[in-house]
Structures are given as structure tokens and as C-alpha cells.
């Protein structure tokens, strides 16, 4: 239960930070989501630092990893977890799974959004 609470609290904080950072930055440009782009890249950097420290120095506790990496970064952006998983494939030399996961995630993600909007329009 404690682990779930840590993820919940970190996720709430990450979501709040994403909103506070992305909203004003997205308003700066009409055709580019600068805020979303920024939180995605910062989230990737942050999860890289957290997981790098956790694996190298064993300084960060498992509870801290849950709060910061899973919760905070997960709430801030799910793109950070996506990028970390792809990095793991590359680091382990798994190029085919990397390409498959990357392409299928992007293509199926976009198709799922299209299907969802189509379903809503079709049944309204």
C-alpha cells in the first residue's frame, strides 16, 4: 500500500508540474506544442538521471525510485518511460525489438486516437 501511495503522490505532483509548465509555453506558439515538447524532453532527462543514479550508486532507495521515476516522471510525462524503455533495448543491442516497439507504439497510438475519436462521433 505504501508503494502505491508513493506512486500516487509523485504522479499527482508530476501532473501538476506538467500543467504549470506546459500551459504557458504551449500558448506561445500556434503550430508547435512547445510546452508538451519541453516536459517530454525534461522528463526524459530526469528519468535518465534518476535511473542512472539508482543503478550506479545504489544511493536512491526503491521507494524514492517509485516516487520520482514512476510517479513524478510518469505524471510529468509518460514519454519519459517510453524513451527509457527504448534506451534499454538499444543498450542491450536489441535492435529489432527496439524498432518494432518504437514503430508499433507510434503507429498504434495514433490509430488508437483516431479510432477513439471516430467511435465518439459514430455513436453520438
Binding site members: 74, 77
How many CB atoms are closer than 10 A to CB 35?
A: 20
Q: Are 68 and 52 in contact (CB under 8 A)?
A: no
CA–CA distance, 38 with 21 (Å, rounded to integer): 8
CA-to-CA separations, 58 to 33, 46, 47, 70, 109, in angstroms, rounded: 36, 17, 15, 17, 35
Q: Collect all residues with Cβ–Cβ distance below 8 Å to 90 and sequence separation of at least 6.
A: 98
| Phi and psi at residue 61, to the nearest 5° | -70, 160
Binding annotation for Na(+): 74, 77
Amino acid at each position: 500500500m505504501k508503494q502505491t501511495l508513493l506512486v500516487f503522490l509523485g504522479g499527482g505532483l508530476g501532473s501538476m508540474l506538467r500543467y504549470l509548465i506546459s500551459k504557458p509555453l504551449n500558448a506561445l506558439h500556434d503550430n508547435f506544442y512547445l510546452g508538451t515538447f519541453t516536459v517530454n524532453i525534461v522528463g526524459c532527462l530526469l528519468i535518465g538521471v534518476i535511473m542512472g543514479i539508482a543503478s550506479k550508486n545504489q544511493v536512491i532507495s526503491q521507494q524514492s525510485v517509485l516516487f520520482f521515476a514512476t510517479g513524478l516522471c510518469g505524471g510529468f510525462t509518460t514519454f519519459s518511460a517510453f524513451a527509457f524503455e527504448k534506451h534499454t533495448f538499444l543498450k542491450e543491442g536489441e535492435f529489432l525489438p527496439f524498432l518494432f516497439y518504437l514503430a508499433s507504439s507510434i503507429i498504434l497510438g495514433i490509430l488508437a486516437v483516431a479510432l477513439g475519436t471516430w467511435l465518439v462521433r459514430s455513436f453520438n
